[in-house]
Amino acid sequence: MTASDLARRIDHTLLKPEAGLADVRRFLTEARQFPFASVCIGPRWVAVAREVLEGSGILVCSVAGFPQGISKPSVKTIEAILAIKEGADEIDIVAHLPPLVAGDADAVKAELLEIVRGARAARPDVVIKVIVESALLMQLPPDKSESAIAAACRAVRESGCDFIKTSTGFHPAGGASVAAVALMRKHAGGIKVKAAGGIRDRAAAEAMLAAGADRLGMSSSLAMLAEIATD
């Protein structure tokens, strides 16, 4: 896989809370070196990303309920709508974790439906990804971990979202794993899978894609792709 081929599967990510305007502008300018699927940045920086990436073909992705997912659905909806109105093409939503751990697909779906209605009213074609902290779900007993991921996939699918995503990268349970991605692919149905959290090199990236990921969330993308390009 060439550097450009891999870049097209990556959401190049900067979500460090300490990143300031100069950091964000540098990150966005550097991102134009490769044909990334998107850049993923905090809601505060969406308008800046729209400006800097104009004409690049790189989509702008932002987040809602990030990183804990404990905001009310109405608050996540407002976050999503504001980001969309400022130019976001994609929104990554952190789902509320307790119903995910319980395998309660109906409760997860109810939250997501509220957010989807608001987001799609603002922009019908916005891509919505749902973060479920799969590392936490994989800590459940094996039979319960798979059923929890299956329930999460069903909720994401039935609420009209586009992707299920492994992780924020901020949860102490950890980030993406090949096993979690494989389970998501098994139960995804018509939705896509995004692996994110702890993917730092080519071997990890290609392993996630081989396990069934359609998209990767990475903050170390530039160094990895530059190395591949010089091979």
The model's pLDDT over 176-186, given as tens digits with 9 standing for 90+, comes to 999 999 999 99
Whether 5 is catalytic: no
CATH 3.40.50.300 is right for the domain spanning 3-229? no
CA R_g for the chain:
16
Other beta carbons less than 10 A from residue 85's beta carbon: 12
Give 88-118 pLDDT, tens digit per residue: 999 999 999 999 999 999 999 999 999 999 9
pLDDT tens, 161-211?
A: 999 999 999 999 999 999 999 999 999 999 999 999 999 999 999 999 999
In a 10 Å sphere around its CB, with 0-12 CB exposed, 13-18 middle and 19+ buried, how is residue 216 labelled? buried
pTM of the model: 0.97
Catalytic status, residue 92:
yes
Nearest to 36 by CA among 16, 65, 7, 75: 7
Tokens 């059923």 sit at which residue? 147
Tens digits of per-residue pLDDT, 16-67?
999 999 999 999 999 999 999 999 999 999 999 999 999 999 999 999 999 9
192 annotated active-site = no
Nearest CA to 119 out of 154, 155, 73, 158 is that of: 73
If you count them, how many residues does the chain have?
231
Could you give phi then psi for residue 85, rounded to 5 degrees? -65, -25
* Catalytic residue chosen out of the listed positions 11, 165, 192, 214: 165
d(CA 48, CA 19): 13
- Give the active site residue among 11, 76, 89, 92: 92
Residue 71 DSSP class = S
Catalytic residue (choose from 11, 76, 194, 214): 194
| Cβ-contact 124, 95 below 8 angstroms | no
The verdict on whether omega for the bond into residue 67 sits within 30 degrees of 0, i.e. cis, is yes
